[in-house]
Structures are given as C-alpha cells and as structure tokens.
Structure 1
Amino acid sequence: MLLAQYGTSSSQPSSSLIPQKYNFQKAMFQMENCHVMACSEWLGCLMVSQQPAPGAVLSGCGVNKLNVATMESGQYIPIHSKQIRGLAFNSRSDGLLLSASMDCTLKLTSLLSNSVVQTCKAEQPLWSCCWCSDDFNYVYAGLINGSVLVYDLRNTSKYVQKLRLWDFRAPVITLSYMPRATSDAFPCGGLLVGNLKGVCFWEMKDAKYNAHVLPLDSGGCTDIQTESNTRQCLVTYRPDHTRNYVLCVMTKLTKNSLPDSADKYKCSCCQVQTFKGGTTCRLLTKNAIFQNPDLGCDILVCIGDESTNSAMLWHAKSGSLIQKLPADQPVLDICPMKVNQTNLLATLTEKKVKIYRWE
C-alpha cells in the first residue's frame, strides 16, 4: 500500500489529474479560543465555537456566525456554560445546529431565531455529537466515559438507548454517521464511533444497533470522517510506539457474508490509501474527505498538520499532494462547502478562519 509523502511546493499541484486548486479569499480573525466549526450550505454560513476569555464582553461558550457569502463575521450566540466539543448540521434546510459540550448537555439551536430550542441532559461531559442521517429525529452524543447516548428529539427528557462496546473509560472523541444506500458493496447505515480503544461501526437496523468492530488499528483514533457516496471513511491516528507520525487511513466499508448462514453478515472495511502526517498530535484536529468539486467520482482528502501549521490537500486515488494551505497556528478543523454554486474550503485555528475558493 502506498504511503503518501508530503511534497515541497505549496503553489504547484503535484498531480496533473487536478489542474485546479484552492485560492485564498479572506481570513476572519476577530475570535479567540475556537475549537470546532460546522457549515450550513442552506444558510450560507459557518458556525465557529468560541470560548471567551475571562472578563471578556461575550458571555458563556457559544458560536460565532460567519457569513460565507459576504465573508463577514456576524452575531455571537451563547449556548453552553463550558467548552463546546462538537457541532453538526443536518442536511435539511431547517437551520438547526447540534452542539455537544463539557457541561453535560447536548443542545439544539435554531439559527432562524438565534436561540436554544431543545436541551438533552447527560450524566457525563460530552466530547462529540452527530445526526442520524437516516432519521433526523435521532441524534448521538459521545461521552467522556466511552458511552454513546441516542436521543429522540420528539422526547428529550431521557436518552432512548446507550451504546457501549469496550469496558474502557476513554472519551468518544469522534462520531460520524454513514447513511443507508443502494450500494451492493455496503448498503448498511449506522454510526462510526472512535476512541483511544479502536473504531466500531454500530449498524442501525429496525431501530436496533448491532456492533461491528472494524479491522483497523486497535487504538489512538482521534478523528473519523465519512464520504457517503463512495462509502469511504478517513480515520486518523496519533503517533504511538510503532511510528512517530500521524497516520490517516482511508478505508472503504464492506458487507461480508458469513459462511454458516446466507442471512448473516459482518460489516468490515478494506484499506484504500494511507497518508503520513506530521510528528506531533497534541490537538484533536478534524480532517475532511470529500468529492472533487470538478469530478464527483474523484475524492480529495484534507489533513491538518501541527508540525508545519498547515492543511495538506491530497488526491486520494493517487496519494499525491495537491496543495499546502498555510496557517499561523495548528489547524483544528477543516470544512469543505458549496455556497451559491461556489466551492469553498474553510480552515480553523484557535483565533482565525481562512476561506479558500476552488478555481
């Protein structure tokens, strides 16, 4: 398997397959203590989590609304009392933002009214969250103790299910939902869960969840991102005793029949490509896997690199580096989006959002 290596040029693409690139548009930096972000293509905005410094004018921990069309910073919306660890929109045009916080709550905020409309309480601090793409009535919260809580937004008084596979009190660092599809190779829908113990796919079928441990590294997972059309995932691992660098593994989910029964199967995955990152991983950077804006069947991968304070854009199939997008600080989150028929990419550091345009 090819292990992609970083190139040396930040301006010229290293692959003739990708003639276009992301060009810098604007930086927005009237912020501090940022952590994660989420994009609503319907509203044309980026929501950036912010934790104001002690004594600041802003109160609580909330989100800063950035207008992507005008490239301007908008209203600050306080939501939680402690740091926000996860943000997520669904694919509907309802303007509802899901947020998970260390204050033990999962909240739903309407960006039409700029106010919290629902609150789900948990017994432990939350580290991650996501929507169920097959049924937007359900949302997920990853806890610091290794559990995942399933909430029904029609009744948020208590979670409806608790998912827990490993008897290991490690935070659920990352959650990502893969929706059902008419794919022969992998039609299943379910929740990908990652922590320092490993990666598990909780298949959702008939309102029940079945656990499938994926044949990946047994520990050190810091991020999982999915590309639903190709049924692929990007799994990031921090350095460990076997390697001194960040490793990003692109895998394709598969459904394998078991020999003893035609009706039984196992959800698994096969490695497609690997990418070698930098030597440091102090932060839990959220990376991105997404379709090439020019060729829908072609996949791009963008990975934050702490060692060089940059985001690296790769052509997934060839494993070649397309661009190096510089930053002043380590990149914490990466968000591809399409607003007003324009393909954009946003990178987030603790104090700044940079917007790039594909052209």
Structure 2
Amino acid sequence: MYFQAAAWSCSWDLQNSNYIYAGLQNGSLLVFDVRQTVRPVNSLKGLTCNPVHTIHSLLHSSTHLPGVRSVLSASAIGLCHWNFGGAEEGPFLVPQTDNQGVCISLAYSPSSDDIVASYRPKVEMSNMAFTQPSLTPSQVIGQGIQGSHIFYNRVGSNCFQKLGSASANVNDIRLPKKSVIIDMESQNRLFASGDEVTCELILQELPSFAVFQHLKIQKQHICDVKYTHALGQGLLSCLDEDRLQIFCMKLS
C-alpha cells in the first residue's frame, strides 16, 4: 500500500468491512478497499497539516443518510466529520470542538453515539526571541497538567451536541492520550482514561463524569486502552510501553 505520509491511526468501517480508513501525519485521510489494495480508493486532504491521531467509523441508524459512510477523526485542532458515498465528503470541523484547547484523545461508542474528546491547554507563544534550554529527563517525558474531557452526543447524521465536561490530569507533551467508552449492561456508561498525576486508570460515569473506580497502573504513559465483554464479564485492557494489564469487570 502507498502512503503519502506516515499513518497515525486506522479504523475498519462499521457499515462495510471491505473499507479501511487511515489517518496520516500530514492531516489527510485515505480510504482503502481490501478487495483492491494497489492504491487507496479515496484520498482527502485535511483542514490542517496536524496528524490525525484517532479515527472512529460512525455507525449509522435508520434515521441517518442511507448509503453514506461516516468517519469522525481527531487531530490537535479538534474533531472532524467526514462523509463518503454522498455528494459532500468533508472534512467538516465539528462546531465548538476547536476552542477547547489541543485535542489529544477521542473515544466513541457505536451503540449510543456518545463521544468524549480530551484536551490539554494551548501553549501561547510570545513574539520574543528565546534560546532552547537543555531539557531534563522529566521534561522530555512530560508531566501532568490540568486539561478537560468534553462529552458529546451525535444527533442525526451531521449534528453533535455538547452534554457535559470535567477537568482531567493530562500530559503536557504526549499525543495522543488513549481512552475508551464502556457500555455496561444494567449500569451507566463508563469512560476510562489515564490520569497523568496519580498514575491510575480512572473510570467515570457518563454524562456526569462522577468517579466510578480507580485502577492502579504500572506506568504513567498509556499506549492504548480497550474494552470487550463476553461470558458475563467485561475485560478492560491497558497497554503501556512494556506490559499489558487486564482488569476483569463483573457484569450484573
């Protein structure tokens, strides 16, 4: 497969498993068809050159546009909505997602159309010239600063509604910050994300962001977080640089 730039993210299409989406370092999005992999079937330029760090294929219901496949992506500027199979393809910047700070994470639940985007503060650069100081190991790794989680819900085919927000301890350097929305049977939906200060995986109820549980992890930097459920229990996995931790959640 030929890429215009390094790939940062990918996602299978939830409507048609023949299609794969890839988000590139230069902000572009490629669409591949596994039935013919010589080249992408579509290539769209992004709104900026910021890397597309997260992609989620959106699940369409009967109330959404028939025949249209949709993707929600995240880069530093915020969230972008892309449509395929229709006259308009995008990307379209989701309103009010570009003024929260630097977007570092995106979680999506296909069953509920719930979305949680995480942000860190923007660094304002002055016009004064300065020299780059030597960095200590802790500065290279990054440290925790206060950011935010913003809860959205998709209403209709192209509308997104903000439903809540909460403060969060995020990393001041690293991108992206992985997170996941957990659909619990007979319970509220949960949002799982890493806390850069306490070195924990925090589970919060949606839409209130009330803390549900603290899970201790081995290291601050989380490479990925995934959730699945089977045989009456849920499995929450947390991957850091050199180990995988799995937490068992009993479903009632």
> Per the shorter chain, which TM-score range?
0.7 to 0.9
Aligned-partner residue type, residue 197 of structure 1: I
Matched, 1:319 2:209: yes
1:177 is displaced (CA, Å) by 0.9
Structure (1 or 2) with the larger CA radius of gyration: 1
**Deviant stretches of 4+, over 6 Å:** none
- Of 175, 184, 195, 1:305 maps to 195
Residue aligning to 1:161: 42
The 2-side partners of 1:207 and 1:229 are apart by 26
Residue aligning to 2:13: 132
- For the aligned residue pairs, the C-alpha RMSD in angstroms reads 2.4
Which residues of structure 1 form unaligned runs of 5+? 1-119, 256-265
Matched, 1:287 2:179: yes
- Of 106, 110, 119, 1:237 maps to 119
The 2-side partners of 1:353 and 1:172 are apart by 25
Matched, 1:333 2:224: yes
Residue aligning to 1:94: none
1:169 is displaced (CA, Å) by 1.7
1:299 is displaced (CA, Å) by 1.2
1:188 is displaced (CA, Å) by 6.9
1:204 is displaced (CA, Å) by 2.9
Q: Deviations over 1:144-196 (max 9, x none)?
A: 11101111111110111112231x22111111111111347xx9751011111
Aligned residues: 225
Larger mean CA deviation between 200-209 and 131-140 belongs to: 200-209
Aligned-partner residue type, residue 27 of structure 2: G
1:311 is displaced (CA, Å) by 0.7
| Kept in 2: contact 1:281–1:306 (CA 8 A) | no
The 2-side partners of 1:276 and 1:306 are apart by 12
Following superposition of structure 1 onto structure 2, how do residues 268-287 of structure 1 map, counting pairs within 5 Å? 268-283=159-174, 284-287=176-179
Call closer, same or farther: CA 1:272–1:136 in 2, change over 3 Å: same
Call closer, same or farther: CA 1:287–1:146 in 2, change over 3 Å: same
The 2-side partners of 1:155 and 1:162 are apart by 15
Call closer, same or farther: CA 1:290–1:282 in 2, change over 3 Å: same
Following superposition of structure 1 onto structure 2, how do residues 131-150 of structure 1 map, counting pairs within 5 Å? 131-150=12-31
**TM-score normalised according to structure 2 size:** 0.81
Aligned-partner SS, 2:201? strand
Aligned-partner residue type, residue 338 of structure 1: H
Matched, 1:197 2:88: no
1:322 is displaced (CA, Å) by 1.0
Call closer, same or farther: CA 1:281–1:183 in 2, change over 3 Å: farther
1:338 is displaced (CA, Å) by 1.3
| Kept in 2: contact 1:344–1:355 (CA 8 A) | yes
Which residues of structure 2 form unaligned runs of 5+? 125-144
Q: Deviations over 1:50-89 (max 9, x none)?
A: xxxxxxxxxxxxxxxxxxxxxxxxxxxxxxxxxxxxxxxx
